[in-house]
Structure 1
Amino acid sequence: MFHSPIGLVHLVSALLAMVAGAVVLLNRKGSPLHKRIGYLYVAAMLAVNATAFFIYRVTGHFGVFHWFALVSLASMAGGMVPVLVRKHISGWIYWHYYFMSWSVVGLYAAFWAETFTRVLPMSRFWPAVVVATAGTMMLGTVLIRRNAAHLLPVRLPKAAG
């Protein structure tokens, strides 16, 4: 099942990131639990992305999944930089929320791709990855938009006059 120690680290880190990402997304934001589990998620994702650059089993060369690892790193940077310099960025919470939420959605989309490499022949692999990724992204869009409502400023009705 494991092709190398790097593959094992990649798998364990990805599973840890999937659990941590779900916990962060499903619990109250800004709490000490959110922060601790969030940093665990970031650490696990750094391991996932770092090990991804050493895995070439699917294509034999630097390919689409390696590019997605770069996108994942950019997404995490987009979510963490505003947190780290929040005193200098107005609306930092929006940047953090959207980038980190999309980071988790991307991780789940990658899960489907990795799963399909194990169970499908290559002739069915790419269509299945496209459909599963599109479905994951659509569900992610709905959940991210629904949960973002608590971040939006409350608009008070104008006074009659």
Structure 2
Amino acid sequence: MFSTIGYLHLLFSVISMITGLIVILNTKGTKFHKRVGYVYVVNMLLLNISSFFISNFNGFSIFHFFAIVSLITILAGMYPVLKRSKNWLQKHYYFMAWSVVGLYCAFWSEVGTRFVKNMQDFWWAVAIATFLTAFLGNYFIKKNAKKLTEQ
């Protein structure tokens, strides 16, 4: 953690968490949304790429697997915007919203690795925090998706 790549990873994660939250809480489709959204996407890409230069558990770990999932989610969220395919807005919203939820779930894993020393407690703490984050994220994603389809 106390390396240049670790500090960069931390920086990218903090910027991603802030910009992701800003995008979620503000009006969609505005210039502000697009600008902050692109800052989010660039930092998420850098965050995910930097994760592969951090060794967890002496090599490829579950954290690297979820970095790949995160990369796929970001790309899946941006593809409809760039291609303007059928139902592009719903696809963009769905994948980008889950990207932010996944980022906050990853935050709990990171907190767990820093503050929970007993591995048995670590898995329970991370599982409960991640489940609650995903559950609430799912609720709000579905709620806001309904508003999106009504427009």
Give 2:131's aligned residue.
134
Give 1:76's aligned residue.
74
Give 1:8's aligned residue.
7
Secondary structure at the residue paired with 1:152?
Answer: helix
Matched, 1:93 2:92: no
Give 2:145's aligned residue.
148
Distance in 2 (alpha carbons) for counterparts of 1:141 and 1:126: 22
C-alpha displacement of 1:3: 2.0
Output one character per residue of 1:94-131: Cα deviation in whole Å (capped at 9) or x when no partner.
Answer: 10000000000000000010011000012311111111
C-alpha displacement of 1:83: 0.2
Distance in 2 (alpha carbons) for counterparts of 1:104 and 1:28: 16
Structure 1 residue identity aligned to 2:39: L
Distance in 2 (alpha carbons) for counterparts of 1:149 and 1:125: 36
C-alpha displacement of 1:153: 3.7
Give 2:58's aligned residue.
60
Structure ID, larger Rg: 1
Distance in 1 (alpha carbons) for counterparts of 2:51 and 2:123: 19
- Give the TM-score taking structure 2 as reference length: 0.96
Structure 2 residue identity aligned to 1:92: W
Distance in 2 (alpha carbons) for counterparts of 1:150 and 1:127: 35
Distance in 2 (alpha carbons) for counterparts of 1:124 and 1:138: 21
Distance in 2 (alpha carbons) for counterparts of 1:24 and 1:46: 16
- Give the TM-score taking structure 1 as reference length: 0.90
**Equivalent of residue 103 in structure 1, options 96, 99, 102:** 99
Structure 1 spans left out of the alignment, 5+ residues: 155-161
Give the structure with the higher percent helix: 2
Give 1:43's aligned residue.
42
Distance in 2 (alpha carbons) for counterparts of 1:147 and 1:98: 10
Distance in 1 (alpha carbons) for counterparts of 2:91 and 2:146: 14
Q: Percent identity?
A: 48
Point out 4+ residue stretches in structure 1 off by more than 2 angstroms. Answer: none
How many residues are aligned here? 150
Structure 2 residue identity aligned to 1:42: V
Matched, 1:118 2:114: yes
Distance in 2 (alpha carbons) for counterparts of 1:71 and 1:46: 12
